[in-house]
């Protein structure tokens, strides 16, 4: 018996990243949030793509705790 867990795909606009090390730190921070199954941080684009059941507020809180800023990226902006 494997209950289905809803999967969200959330894109975050990240501020404060200055290098690939920052992207690696954010990847680790976001990966630790309960419910996250996949994280991809793009330093050059200033974005993070997160998959799993975690909600946006928890993801933004994790980014802020790591010392960066985050908002949910608008769907049309890339």
- Is 76 within the bounds of a domain? no
Q: Please report whether residue 27 resides in a domain.
A: yes
What domain range includes position 23? 8-69
Residue pair 17/68 in contact by the 8 Å Cβ criterion = yes
CATH number at residue 17: 3.30.70.100
Which uninterrupted H or E stretch holds 23? helix 20-31
Place of tokens 């992207």: 23
Residue 33 lies in a domain: yes
- Length of the chain, please? 78
Q: Is residue 74 included in any domain, yes or no?
A: no
What pTM was estimated for this model as a whole?
A: 0.85
Residue 75 covered by a domain: no
Rounded to whole angstroms, how far apart are CA atoms 76 and 38? 22
21 lies in some domain: yes
Structural domain count, the chain:
1
> Computed over its alpha carbons, how large is the radius of gyration of the chain?
12
What does each of the 78 residues of the chain score in pLDDT, given as a tens digit?
Answer: 345 556 899 999 999 999 999 999 999 999 999 999 999 999 999 999 999 999 999 999 999 999 999 999 975 443
């Amino acid at each position: 018996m494997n209950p289905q867990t809803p999967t969200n795909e959330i894109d975050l606009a990240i501020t404060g990243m200055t290098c690939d090390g920052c992207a690696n730190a954010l990847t680790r921070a976001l990966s630790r949030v309960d419910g996250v199954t996949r994280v991809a941080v793009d330093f050059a684009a200033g974005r993070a793509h997160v998959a799993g059941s975690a909600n946006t507020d928890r993801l933004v809180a994790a980014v802020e705790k790591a010392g960066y800023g985050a908002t949910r990226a608008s769907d049309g902006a890339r």
